[in-house]
Amino acid sequence: MNLFKKRKRKSDMLEAVTSWEISPPSASVELFSCLNIVVPENSIMYFEDVYENKVKEVLKAISTDSKTIIHSGTLWPKPDVFHVPATDENYGKIQEIAENHFISVHFHILRNDVKVLEWYDAFDKDPMYISTIIDEERIKEFCEKLGLEYRKQNGL
């Protein structure tokens, strides 16, 4: 078995191409109250490496059958992955559980199997990356509401 097949390739990462680099929010609760500003309709939230059983229960209840696979941020052990429709109702459910629980190690948002938001080592100190298909006006509004900084970066 080749453990390196699942490694992140730079070409598959938003941070490797021109994208918006966003400073991490201090709390996940606020993030889910503002995601609708930057997330296009019909998007899917991708939660990887969920540890807490209560969080797994909530995500499983609102998950979809999407089988989109992205390069895993965790090689071993095989992480739990949940695909959740990005809707206001689901943002609210996740926001509620995020008040007292850690959500996931990695968090991404996809639309039509293309990454819109990428956040490896999410809900920590690493920046998130948002595709430049989202215009700067929306990025600015999102960041202002959350008290975050942003910049356009040209990739690795």
Per-residue pLDDT of 81-140, as tens digits, reads 899 999 999 999 999 999 999 888 889 999 888 889 999 888 888 899 999 999 999 999
Give the chain's domain count: 1
Amino acid at the residue 9: R
Residue 77's pLDDT band, with cuts at 50, 70 and 90, is low
Residue 71's pLDDT band, with cuts at 50, 70 and 90, is low
Amino acid at the residue 132: T
Of residues 128, 127, 50, 58, the one with CA closest to residue 92: 58
**Which structural domain range is residue 39 located in?**
3-153
Q: Taking phi first (over 0 means left), then psi (-120 to 50 degrees means alpha), and beta for anything else, what does residue 39 get?
A: beta
Of residues 95, 135, 103, 114, the one with CA closest to residue 43: 114
More confident of the two residues 147 and 6:
147
Average pLDDT, the chain: 83
Per DSSP bridges, beta strands 150-153 and 19-22 are antiparallel
Residue 146's Cβ-side half-sphere holds a number of Cα atoms within 13 Å equal to 26
